[in-house]
Amino acid sequence: MNRNTLIGICVAGVIVFSALKPRDVTLRSMVNGWLGLAGSVEQSQASALRPLISCLNFVDVSWRRAYEDYRARDPEVESPGKALADRYPELFQAAQRTQPGSSARGAGRPDQCVLAADQKRRLVEKFPDLGAVYARYVTALLRVDEFTRRFDFYPVLGARPDSAADKAARDVEFVPMAEAFLRVSSELRTQVDAADRRIREAQLNLLRQRDHSQMAFLPGLIQQTREEMHALTVAAAAQTLTQAQLAAAIERLKTSWVWDTTDPRPGIGDADDEARRNWFRVQTPATEYLQALHELNDHWLNHADPQRLSDDFALAGKHFDRLIDAYNTAVLLQF
């Protein structure tokens, strides 16, 4: 049940302030003092990691989705004489993920992953092990991006697509190149995710120690969700995941996510407007993620075949990715 999907990464060192309004200058300054001291190890690490997280969230995610959609196209219906909806089904799905042509390519420009000299220096200084992996990642990303400019990797409305035979011949070179890129991408994501989770945990602990649980609520909930999915993914990859383990994770997440659908901060009746908006922005993808886990669990209890369970797990992973994307988008609107 190994899945080739995205590893959700939360923006470190920023989202913890989403519960504060601009007018809360004094309290904001206090929190900045606790979490953002010039000599703070976590603050400096988060600052060094943030450009790479942005690259993975907005470029790597877009490319992986486009590649998944490209591979899912049926070569028999991709011929020039077929209807647009048959050639590019990803454009007509209920939850559209892929934009046509230049819009999609512009949204995931690889130059956004080419760090400036100072950014690269700080990254290597704070995370020495990331330097070599990052260099291989950028090289592989630029290579696959250049290759995809030769054909309709991103749907090109109005253009005459290649024939099925041309696509098959091209994929002999392209698919191994893309899979090699995905391997180094996954390696980088794993390392960045581990570093980011370590930083985030330290920041959350500091907020809790200062007795500001209302500010730590949503970041803490996202952190818990990430940790649960990480544990499930590791177990699935090792083929040690059990139905009991899955059911227990679902119960923990359900208890955390649905305890109160109106107030994002425990014990606070007058919730901050921005905190409330962030809470409601993630409600739909969170619900869909939990529903996907429930479906996997139900099929497991009903003795579904292994392929069905594998597909269910992959679908749950996609909903998890969308939840993390929605959360990142919500908090980035404010900073």
Decide which of 56 and 103 is more confident.
56
List where CATH 1.20.1440 sits in the chain. 214-259+271-334
Of 58, 57, 61, 53, which is closest to residue 13 (Cα–Cα)?
A: 53
58 pLDDT band, cuts 50/70/90, is: confident
Decide which of 280 and 225 is more confident.
225
User: What pLDDT shows up at residue 117?
Assistant: 95
165 pLDDT band, cuts 50/70/90, is: confident
303 pLDDT band, cuts 50/70/90, is: very high
| Average pLDDT rounded to a whole number, residues 27-48 | 55
Q: Give the contacts of 94 (CB within 8 A, at least 6 positions apart).
A: none
Q: Enter the CATH code of domain 214-259+271-334.
A: 1.20.1440
Cα gap 90→70, rounded to integer Å: 9
- Is 112 a residue whose pLDDT tops 80? yes
Highest-confidence segment of 205-219, 263-277, 286-300: 286-300
- Is 90 a residue whose pLDDT tops 60? no
User: What pLDDT shows up at residue 248?
Assistant: 97
User: What pLDDT shows up at residue 317?
Assistant: 87
Highest-confidence segment of 39-53, 103-117, 170-184, 299-313: 170-184
User: What pLDDT shows up at residue 273?
Assistant: 65
Highest-confidence segment of 41-45, 198-202, 234-238, 329-333: 234-238
| Average pLDDT rounded to a whole number, residues 127-143 | 96
Task: Burial-class residue 84 by CB neighbours within 10 Å (0-12, 13-18, 19+).
Answer: middle
| Average pLDDT rounded to a whole number, residues 90-111 | 54
Which of 83-87, 135-139, 159-163 has the lowest average pLDDT? 83-87
User: What pLDDT shows up at residue 131?
Assistant: 93
Decide which of 186 and 209 is more confident.
186
262 pLDDT band, cuts 50/70/90, is: low
| Average pLDDT rounded to a whole number, residues 173-201 | 92
- Is 116 a residue whose pLDDT tops 80? yes
User: What pLDDT shows up at residue 221?
Assistant: 87
